[in-house]
Structure 1
């Protein structure tokens, strides 16, 4: 009971020591996005704007395949975001490090590095194979 009694007080003191409590009291609507999940629907453009894209020598427009996921895939954009970042929504202050997309010919399945926010997308000869392997990897 002792812990539960003092926790709110200690939390408040911590917020006060950094000036956060004062800012929250002055600007609650502006700072709400830092503490509450947005209900905005994720779009392909939102996801694309997060990335630094590292093009492979063989492929320069494969990102179009990721944009197609918004329209004709059983995998949602949120599923893709969770796959490579561990988050199901875009954070208010974005991600650090900045998410990257790389293209690889070393694997037929996408590879995610959630610590570095890197999504390695496989290069396929046709879109059907690409979509099938992406769906399988992200769902499993």
Structure 2
């Protein structure tokens, strides 16, 4: 999982060698180096017509790390996190570590579809058909194929 099916592109390898030769081999700030964050801001503006400040950008080791950080930041003890299954096994433990409660949505009843745009009252009504008891909640969007 997460292993590319291609070799490292030559330009990336050359950049890595250059960074090593320049002594750029130590830990960076947790949210990412400023030059990278500036490049991300520029890319988002140019390609996606979305404007952010570098203070709104966090570079992470991957999606699971970002999700874990978000759960620790926004979940209160007892909050419910809706988790479509099948899912990555670590998601359940991340939710529990944040003192929240995983609420599993068995997507096989729905032909593996997830209704992300349902407003809370409608989702609550719909959840009764799946025998879910919903309190305060967050939704995790999970693609079982990734």
The verdict on a shared fold, with TM-score over 0.5 as the criterion, is no
Question: Normalising by structure 1, what TM-score?
Answer: 0.24
Which structure carries more helix by proportion?
Answer: 1
TM-score by length of 2: 0.23
